[in-house]
Every structure is written in C-alpha cells, then in structure tokens.
Amino acid sequence: MNLVMIGLEIHAQITALKSKLFCSCYGNYRDLRPNTNICEICSGLPGTLPIINKKAIEYATMTSVALGCKVPDKIMFYRKNYFYPDLPKNFQITQYNVYGFSSIGADGLFELDDSKKIRITRVQLEEDPGRIAYSEEGMNVRNSALVDYNRAGAALIEIVTEPDFNDPKEVRVFLNKLSLMLEHIGVCDTLLEGAVRCDVNVSMKGGNKVEIKNINSFKEVEKAINYEVTRQTSMYNRNLKIEYETRHWDDRKKITFKARSKEEEHDYRYFPEPDIPVIVLGNNFVSTLKGYMPELPNERFNRYVSKYKLTEHTSNILINDKKLADFFESCVKIYFSPVEIANVLITDLKSFIDNNSESTDYLSNMKVKPEHIAELVKLIEGNMISRLTAKDFLIKIAESGVSPSEVLNSTNSFKIVDEKTLKEAIDTVFDNEASAVNDARNNPEAINYLLGKVMKFTKGRADPKIAASLINIKLRQSEN
Amino acid sequence: MAHLHDLLAYEVVEGIKGQQFTAEQYVGSMIKRIEDVDSKLRSFITVDSEGALSSAKIIDRKIKEKVDIGTLAGVTIGIKDNISTKGIRTTCASKILEDYVPSYDATVIRKLKENGAIILGKLNLDEFGMGSTTEYSSFYSTHNPWNLDYVPGGSSGGSGAAVAAGECTVSLGSDTGGSIRCPASFCSVVGLKPTYGRVSRYGLISYANSLEQIGPICRSVKDAVMIMNIISGKDIMDNTSIQSTPIAIKSKLGKLNIAIIKELINGSDHDVTRTVYSASEKFKDIGYSCEEVSIKNLDYALPSYYTLASAEASSNLARYDNIRYGFDFPIEEYKWDTYFSNVRKNFGQEVKRRILIGSYVLSSGYYSKYYLKARMLRSLLKLELLKLFNKYDLLIGPTMPILPFKIGEKIDDPFKMYLVDVNTVLANLAGIPAISIPVGFSNGLPIGLQIMAAPCQEQKLVDASLALEDTIDIQRRPKSI
Amino acid sequence: MISIEELKYLAEISKIDLTDDEINRFPPQLNKTIEYIDILEELASDESITMDLHEINFDELRDDVVKKSDGQPIIKNLTEEGFLRGPKMK
C-alpha cells in the first residue's frame, strides 16, 4: 500500500468555562430552549463588541503547553469572513498565524509513543457558531432552516496537526491521549454531546489532499479515515486521479461523500479583529500558569511508578480512566497502601463496575466510597480477611453503603488462620481429589489447583499462605 | 430673554436648577422648535417627544423633592441614528434596519441618561456613516440651516444641522473619517472627535471600528466639554476603551505652540485658506507661537483611510442578513443560493460600493497589496505626527478644504466626494483627538478650523478653542431659520 | 482594474445582488477609487514597521462570570418553538 498521510483539525469546546468566549451567557448551552441563552453580543446585534473571557485564554494556554507548543507574549484575533446562517455576525472571530503574530500555541510536538511524535501546527482560540435544526415537516419550511444561537460564542480550542499520521490506528491512539490530556487539564469534558469535533485530511503520497468534515465524535474518526483510505487506494489502483476536494462524513451510512464544491470555496478575507486589542500576556504568564496547571497524564504516570511503586500496566489502567485515578488517590490519601488499593480497584471494583454499570459517571453515583476501599485494604493487610472475601464485601458495600467492618461483623467472614480448621478442610479436599493429589507430588503447578479447592471449600476465607504450606507438608507426609 | 431653544447646555442646566423654567417647559419648546423647522431641515429620523417629556417631568419632580438631578439635567440631546437607544428605533439611515428597535442602550446613552440628559430623538446620517453630505441617507437629505440648498456635511449631518438650528441643545455624532468635524465645520458649530478609546463604542453601530469614535457637536466649546466629561472613560463593554481624566474649562497650561500644516492650507479653497490664516493670526495675538510644518506621508493618508475603512465595513455589515431583526420576507424565498444576496440588495449604492471595495482589498491576492500597506502607512503617519507633537502642542488647518456645496453637486461622482475628507482622516488614522471650531464665513457659508493634538491631549484642544472663542465671536445660530 | 466578471465575483463573496444598472455603473466608479489607492504600492514594504495596534493587558480582561439577562427577548421574529428562520442548505 502507498504511504498514507493524515492530518487532523480538532475542535474541543472549553466546557469548563462558566460563560461564553465573548459575552456573559452560559458556556453550557445544552438542554435549553432555543435562543434563550443569548444576549446582544452573541447574537450579533448592531453595536455590540466582543468582550473576551480571561479564563478561556488560560485554558487555551494550558492546552498549548500540554501539546508542547510555544506560547507568544502577545496574542491577537482575526476575523474569518463567510456567510452562514448559524454565524450571527457572518464572520467568526478566530486566530491566524501571519505577519509576526501567532495564535495562542504554535509549533508543538506531541508524543504518540516511544517511536513517534506528532507535530502540532497550532492551537487557537475561537468562537463556536450557533446550530441549525432542519425541520422536515410542512411545505412552509421547505426552504428555511431553524436557527438556534444558544451555542453561538461558546469557546472552542482548535488544534491543528501536521499530516504526520500514517495509519488510522495512530489517529485513534492520538485522540485517546488527547482526550485524556484535555480531561486532566480540566478543559473539556469530551463525553458531552458535541464537545469535540474533528476534521481530517487524508492524502496518498504524491496525491491531492482530501478533507473530511463533520465528524462529530472521536469514535467515528477512525472509521471515516479507513473508508477514505480504502476509497483512495482503490482509485489509485484504477489509475484514477484523486481530486483536491472536501467530503463529508455520513455517520449513518458510514461513508464519505463529496460536498457541493461551491459552498466550500471560500475567500475568507482574514484581517485583524479591530474590536479586540492585542492581548499582552507578559513574560511570566506561561511560567505562572504552569505553577497551578493540573498534572498531565504522563506526569501522573511517572508519579505512580516512582512514588507509588505501581507497575506501568497498573498505572496506565488507572490513568486511562481519569475518574478512577482520582478515586484511587482519594483512597491513598486515607490509607497509604497504593499497590494493594490499586489491586482492589482494578481487579475487584472495576470488574464489578464493568458488569453493573454503563454510566460514565459511575464513581460519583456509587455507594462505595474511598473510605470503604481504604478500610477494606486495611483489613486485607491486617490479615483479617482474604482477598476473595474482600471482593464479596465490595458487592455488599455497593448494595447497601455499609462499612467493611460492619460487613465483617455481620457475616463472620474473618480469615481462617487456625491450622486445625485448615487441616480439616485440606483433609476433605485430599479425599475428594485423589488423582490431583497424585499429580501434585510430581508437578508443583498442581498444588495451586488443590489450594483453589481449599479456598473454595472455605468460601475464600482460608489464609492462602498458611493453607499452601499445610498442603505442602501433607503432600510430603503422604509420600513417606 | 432669548428663545429657550437658543440656550447653551450649561444655561439650560442653570435655568432648570434655578427654576427659571421647568424641564417640561424647556423640552416642550424644543419639540415645538422641531415641529416648526424640521420639515425644512430634515435633521431628524425619529423624534421621541413622549419619552423626552416624561423624562422632563421626572426631573421637575426631583427638583421639587430636592433630589439630585445630575450635571446635564434637562439638556436635550439629539443622537446620530447609528447609536443604539433602547426602545427607540435605530436605523443607521438604512432600509436594512428600518424597523430595528434595539434592546439596549449604548454606554454613552446610559451615561447621559444617568446624568439627567434627555434623549430627544435620532438624527439623520449618510447610511451607516458612509458619506460626507448626508445625501446617502436612505430616507432623505438633510439641509444646511445656513442655506437650505446646501449640504450640512456628513456623515453626522443631522447632528450638525439640528444643533445649529436649535432643534436640540447638543448632539452626539460619530467620526470615522471626519463625520463629526465635517458637519460641525459646514454648520458653524463645535465638533470634537476624541482620542481613540476615550469614549466607549459599545452601542455605536460599527462602520470602521479601528477608526471611529463618538463625540459631541455643540454650539459652544464649554458644552462640548460638559458632554465629553460625562461620556468619556474606560468601559467594561469595550475592550478598546481607555481611562481618561476630566477636561477643565480653566486649565493652567498657558501659552501653546501651534503649527499650521502647510499642505492642508495649500490644498484648500482661497476663502478657506484666508480665513484659517486669519484665525492663526489671532492665536499669535494671544501669545501662542505659530509656525508652518509639512507632513511627508500626507498623500497616502486618504488612500489608506479608504482601504481600511472599506475593509472593516465589508466585514461589519455582513451581519445584516435579515435573520434576526429584519423585515418580513416571503418564506418561499429562503433559498440557500439566493437568500443572503437577495436580502442584502437593500443596502444603498454607496454602502454597496464600499462593501465591494472592502471585499476587494481583503480578497486573496490583494491583502498585502492594499490592506497591509494601508496598515503600514497608518503606523508611519502616526509616528510622523507624534514626532511633530514632541515639538508642537497643536497642529492646525482647515477642517474642510472647501466650502459647503449644493445638494446634488457631487452625488454623481462618489470619488470626488471621498476627496473632501482629506484633512480629517489624519486624526482617525493616528487615533488622535481633533476639534473643529467655527472661524468665519464666506458668502454666508461657514468655515471651520481643525485643531489636532497628541493622544489624550483633549485639554490642549479645549484650551486653544476657548481662547479662540474669546477672541473671535462667530455666529453659531443662523438667524434665517 | 475591476472587470464586470470580477465585480460579479466580489458581489458573490459580499453576498449582494447587483442590478443591471449597478453592474454597468459600478466598474468605472470603483476603478477610480482603486486607481487612487494603488498609490499605496509606492510604499516600500518594510518588515520593521509593525501594524499600529492597540494593546490590553491580560489582567484587564473579563472574568469568567455568567450574567443572566433580564429575560426580555432581545430578538423578535422567533418561531413558536423559539427558533429563528434562515436559509436552508440543500
């Protein structure tokens, strides 16, 4: 196959903001009656001026820093002129890299994995347009679209990459890492409807660039690229010229289709936005911001490995689910035993949740609280209960919200450390598993099988260490 | 006593506070005056008699209750119809905004109201401020009160004519390339364009944002100072606004150094030149020094102005697409391909021309040839002027190179019309303050002197203007009307 | 110089329908202006001359605070469901 080159243009809303980019309407426009979250400014009424949100600049700067971009001392805004019914002013206030001024972030580098880095062309701050709801009913509305400005003016961060991806899978990895990063900075809740959107450009080596617009979730991006790569490859194989064009992604049919060329041909007539002066960030802006910038995923990873002594695998599982990682840290704050807490969360709690919950916000709605996990781990480490018992406890806590010690008292689930009781259990298992006992004499692996049977017989309460040593003793005894 | 409608702003406030007449009586006389003369002048687009009278009654009640009534109590103000007034139709003299009633007050309107001023109505202009005669209003031309056959200047022609004719105490205009100073000069009144940013533009319907400012048009310098001190100041709603200190009526700056801009004098009509020279002699008489200077980059100023103003206008006016506050439009016509172009053909011809020129200078391939060069010239010009201000306090010259001309005389040649702005655009390009004050007449037609100062040096403009006002008494109110 | 074709292109990107009369009358009028502003070309491009731009300090910018409106509708012609009407893209 020919070399494929893929570049991305990602739009992420700064969902963390309370207000819009240029006015004091709600940043969160979701679930509101049409055109009720608007003011004179964001609906573009004559005589109004954009009043830029300080916090939006901070979030965009953090994103730029996290993507390894340079942030200039001064930034400015540009107007991008085009007519569209969802654009109240019929121009968009955005940024543009020309004539000595750059957008808020430029020339970044983002590590995909050990062997690959993606160049970030720029990070810019801009306003979201409104939304168009097409009505299908009635002759009267045949030609007209219904426009809602509630979203108009919400703050967007646009991230543009160089065409450095050669495989759709790399794009997936990138978008996952990016989402995680945005979530860690607290810029964007990527799971909110419409919070992230992606335009993609795909070209074969030596061929023209094809842009794909309208991909409204990260999940669809890989599918759209796969479709486009297949399409272009087959055209190439049939010696058909790939035209420079814009296509749209149809997420119902899962295909890209050619946009009408006319509406995509724009002469945007960029020029500096006269209503927003050049914003002087100052020399210490970035260093000050770094001081209170939330920890990034890779920094968190390093801390988990070095300070908490977690394995890289365990660290990754926690960090890839930011809310779980936050939960983990709350537990560790109460009782410092990171390795055991991580084990309980990953092997027990997570499997339990995966089975029982579809909700993305499962942790905050759950009855199991960090105090419970901390106490549970204390019981395990104090040799009071076995790890298998702990798993049963979790289910009970999740159902009723009672504390582990209450469960312990009410169920009499103390770990069995008493050798006499254990010996009786082992005797029973040996009687029932004669052939396994024979195997075990020659094959040390089979001992684990016997131990498992003992655990099962004691309903998981047997202390596995003591039980294992008793099984070994009994095997040696019966040999003689 | 003179007619109430002839009183200056400070006289009105004194009269009402001193209970020589009530605010209601005063406002009533102004409304009567408009009824008497506006059919001849056509200064107003909208007169808010009801609103003005009810505001007046509130002031009269406050006086009885001995409650503070504000420094502008009872002063009637006419507002150029491109400044947003809550509940009062704001048209920009354009068909496209014919029925638009704003939901908010511009910052200047809010401040004026808070200080007791009374909004009397909205004044005619060239559509969206694009013009120098008020003939480009989509509704009707305004007539010069000194001679009804002549233009009052523009684009704030309604603001100039109404003040000169005593239809309102003072007025607000906006100045993008001379639109306050030109009608002030043509109507023999005082017009001040502030330093860029000194007055909030929130609510000023943009023509060319980086150039324009709101400012007062008055029959005396003292009135202009009163208005300026109310409307100036940093505004949270305008990121380009700046802080300022009040202007004093009696400052202690003393004698100032003045320079006449040679090119502006030489390029003017003979009568204009003569009158301006004689005004400069008056400055010498009162002890100011006065020399002549040259501006190297002057020839590029007007091309640069028209490039930048048109570019910004083409973008600013894109929002008039009828979607939010427009006229009724048949629902079958909401076709993607034709909708925008169809509703936007309601702009007047001059607006269309400037939008097209603006699109041209910004379109791909031409941006660096025109727009960037114009920005560069702007920087050069500002540097050159600031250098001159190191040496001189004030730069002076004629406000307009010609006398007022007859209605219809230049309407067929839009380009000739552009050339009359040559003296005034300097201050807009450089963002510096400038004032036009009456200095004489030729054949009964007014001549104005333009004085420019360094950024934020409005005090110097005012000092010189007051000094001149004391020396030469130039008629502000035509007797014929 | 602007030809009739170029004028039509400018009218298209500016979204303004021109009458036949305007299409005939505008080119000479606009060309007079363009000829006049062509003088700007004489200015040497000088990278050292930056645009004269106003500045504002970051600290002076607006805080991220929501201000609720007074509930008065600021736009009149809304549909029953609260939408505005615009042209529909095919």
pLDDT on residue A134? 66
Cα-Cα-Cα-Cα dihedral sign, residues B359, B360, B365, B369: negative
Interface of B with C in 240-259 (CB under 8 A): 240
Contacts of A83 in chain B (CB under 8 A): 318, 321, 340
pLDDT for residue A358: 53
The CATH number for A460's domain is 1.10.10
Which residues of chain B does C84 touch, with a Cβ-Cβ cutoff of 8 Å? 323-324
Asked if C62 has any chain A CB less than 8 Å from its own CB, the reply is yes
Nearest by CB to residue B237, choosing from A45, A49, A145, is: A49
Q: Do C58 and A26 touch (CB under 8 A)?
A: no
* Residues of chain C scoring pLDDT < 70: 47-50, 71, 90
Peptide bond into C45 cis (omega under 30): no
Helix axis angle for C4-14 and B349-362, nearest 10°, is 90
Whether the pLDDT of residue A139 is over 50: the answer is no
B-chain CB neighbours of C65 within 8 Å are none
Candidates B275, B248, B290; CA nearest to B403 is B275
- Return the structure tokens found at A159: 């991230």
Least confident of A389-393, B108-112, B130-134: A389-393
Last residue of a domain, one of A378, A394, A411: A411
A155 vs A244: CA distance, rounded Å:
30
Note the pLDDT tens digit of each residue in B126-172.
999 999 999 999 999 999 999 999 999 999 999 999 999 999 999 99
Mean pLDDT score across all residues of chain B: 95
**Shared domain check, A283 and A307:** no
Kindly state the average pLDDT of the residues A266-283.
93
Rounded to the nearest angstrom, the minimum Cα separation between B42 and chain A is 24
Q: Do C69 and A39 touch (CB under 8 A)?
A: yes
Give me the residue label for tokens 């009183």: B7
Asked if the Cβ–Cβ distance from B334 to A50 is below 8 Å, we say no
Domain end call among A244, A262, A288: A288
For residue B160, which of B138, B469, B105, B151 has the smallest C-alpha distance?
A: B151
Chain A positions touching B106 (Cβ under 8 A) are: 47
A243 and A352 fall within a common domain? no
Q: Residue A21 in contact with residue A195, Cβ under 8 Å? A: no
C-beta atoms surrounding C19 within 10 Å: 12
Report the alpha-carbon distance of residue A456 to residue B348 in Å, rounded: 90
Residue among A40, A51, A134 whose CB faces C88 most closely: A134
| Least confident residue range of A258-272, A329-343, C33-47 | A258-272
Dump the DSSP string for A211-256. EEEEE-SHHHHHHHHHHHHHHHHHHHHTTPPPPPEEEEEETTTTEE
Residues 315-354 of B with CB under 8 A from C: 318, 321, 323-326, 331, 334-336, 338-342, 344-345, 347, 349, 352-353
Task: Sort out which chain B residues have CB atoms less than 8 A from A266's CB and list them.
Answer: none
Contact C54 B240 (CB under 8 A): yes
Assess B114–A contact: CB distance below 8 Å, yes or no.
Answer: no
Among C27, A271, C41, which residue's Cα sits nearest to residue B303?
C41
Residue-averaged pLDDT of chain A: 89
Q: Sketch out chain B's domains with CATH numbers.
A: 1-481 (3.90.1300.10)
pLDDT digit string (tens) for B185-198? 999 999 999 999 99
Token digits of residue A247: 């296509």
Residues A322 and A350 in one domain: yes
- pLDDT higher than 70, residue B106: yes
The residue among A97 and A135 whose pLDDT is bigger is A97
Rg (CA), chain C: 23
Using an 8 Å Cβ cutoff, are B142 and B171 in contact? no
If DSSP codes are grouped into helix, strand and coil, which group holds residue B416?
Answer: helix
Chain B residue numbers touching A267 (CB-CB < 8 A): 363-364
* Coil, strand or helix at A370: helix
Q: How far is CA A310 from CA A320, A322, A342, A371, in A?
A: 14, 16, 8, 21
Residues A116 and A192 in one domain: yes
Answer yes or no: do C22 and B349 touch at CB < 8 A. Answer: yes
pTM, two decimals, is 0.91
Q: Kindly state whether A261 is in contact with chain C, defined as any CB-CB distance less than 8 angstroms.
A: no
Phi, psi of A10 (to 5 degrees): -105, 135
Average of per-residue pLDDT across B306-320: 98
**Contact (CB, 8 A) for A66 and A185:** yes
Q: Considering only CB atoms, which chain B residues are within 8 Å of C72?
A: 103
**A280 shares its domain with A212:** yes
Q: What are the residue numbers of the active site of B?
A: 80, 155, 179
Does A275 lie in the same domain as A385?
no
Distance from CA of A286 to the nearest CA of B (A): 23
Q: B390 and C37 in contact (C-beta within 8 Å)?
A: no
Residues B329-384 pLDDT 10s = 777 778 888 889 999 999 999 999 999 999 999 998 899 899 999 999 999 999 99
Angstrom distance (rounded) from CA B31 to CA B40: 15
Whether the per-residue pLDDT at B202 is higher than 70: the answer is yes
> Residue B342's CB: how many other CB atoms inside 10 A?
18
Q: CA of C13, closest CA in chain B: separation in Å? A: 8
Alpha-carbon distance of B253 to A223, in angstroms, equals 74
* B361: nearest Cα among B417, B316, B309: B309
Interface B:C, Cβ pairs < 8 A = 146
Question: What ipTM was reported for this prediction?
Answer: 0.95
- Can you read off the two tokens belonging to residue A417? 């450390």
Residues whose CB falls within 8 Å of the CB of residue A44, separated by 6 or more in sequence, listed in order: A88, A89, A90, A152, B319, B324
Number of structural domains found in chain A? 3
Q: Give the lowest-confidence range in A317-321, B70-74, B322-326.
A: B322-326
* Mean pLDDT, range A14-39, rounded to an integer: 96
The two three-digit tokens of residue A399, written as one number: 């159902």
Give the residue on C whose Cα is nearest the Cα of A50: C62
What sign does the dihedral C52-C53-C57-C60 (CA atoms) show? positive
What is the least distance, in Å, from the CA of B129 to any CA of chain C?
A: 18
Nearest to C52 among B323, B353, B379 (CB): B379
| Chain CA centroid to CA B437, Å | 13
Chains with ≥3 Cβ pairs under 8 A against A?
Answer: B, C
- Closest CB to C55 among A100, A146, A277: A277
Query: Is there a contact between C11 and B356 if contact means CB atoms under 8 Å apart?
Result: yes
Q: Which residues of chain B have a CB within 8 Å of the CB of A144?
A: 331, 334
- Using an 8 Å CB-CB cutoff, list chain B residues near C16: 341, 344-345, 347, 352, 355-356
Residue A417: other Cβ atoms inside 10 A = 16
**Chain A residue with the nearest C-alpha to that of C69:** A39
- Domain co-membership, A445 together with A300: no
The answer to whether the beta carbons of residues A5 and A207 sit under 8 Å apart is: no
Asked if A231 and A155 sit in the same domain, the reply is: yes
Instruction: State pLDDT tens for residues B228-280.
Output: 999 999 999 999 999 999 999 988 888 999 999 999 999 999 999 999 999 99
Residues sharing a CB contact under 8 Å with residue C42, sequence separation 6 or more, in sequence order: B300
Q: For chain C, say whether A25 makes contact (Cβ under 8 Å).
A: yes
Residues A330, A215 share a domain: no
CB < 8 Å from A in window 307-336 of B: 311-312, 314-315, 318-319, 321, 323-325, 331-336
**A284 and A301: one domain?**
no
CB spacing of B325 vs C75 below 8 angstroms: yes
CA distance B416 to chain C (A): 10
In DSSP terms, A70 is beta-bridged to A106
Specify whether the CB–CB gap between A275 and A50 falls below 8 A.
Answer: yes
What pLDDT is stored for residue A355 in this prediction?
Answer: 61
According to the model, what pLDDT value does residue A440 have? 83
The answer to whether B135 and B408 are in contact (CB under 8 A) is yes
What is the b/e burial string over A453-466, where b = at least 16 CB atoms within 10 angstroms of the residue's CB? Answer: bbbebbebbbbbeb
Domain that holds residue A301: 295-411
Q: What's the rounded Cα separation, in Å, for the pair A255 and B203?
A: 47
Of the pLDDT bands very low, low, confident and very high (cuts 50, 70, 90), residue A394 is: confident
- The Cβ of residue B332 has, within 10 Å, a number of other Cβ atoms equal to 11
Last residue in a domain, options A388, A411, A434 = A411
A136 confidence band (pLDDT: 50, 70, 90) = low
Do A164 and A43 fall within a single domain?
yes
Q: Are residues A245 and A323 in the same domain?
A: no
One DSSP character per residue, B267-319 reads TS-HHHHHHHHHHHHHHHHTT-EEEEE--TTHHHHHHHHHHHHHHHHHHHGGG
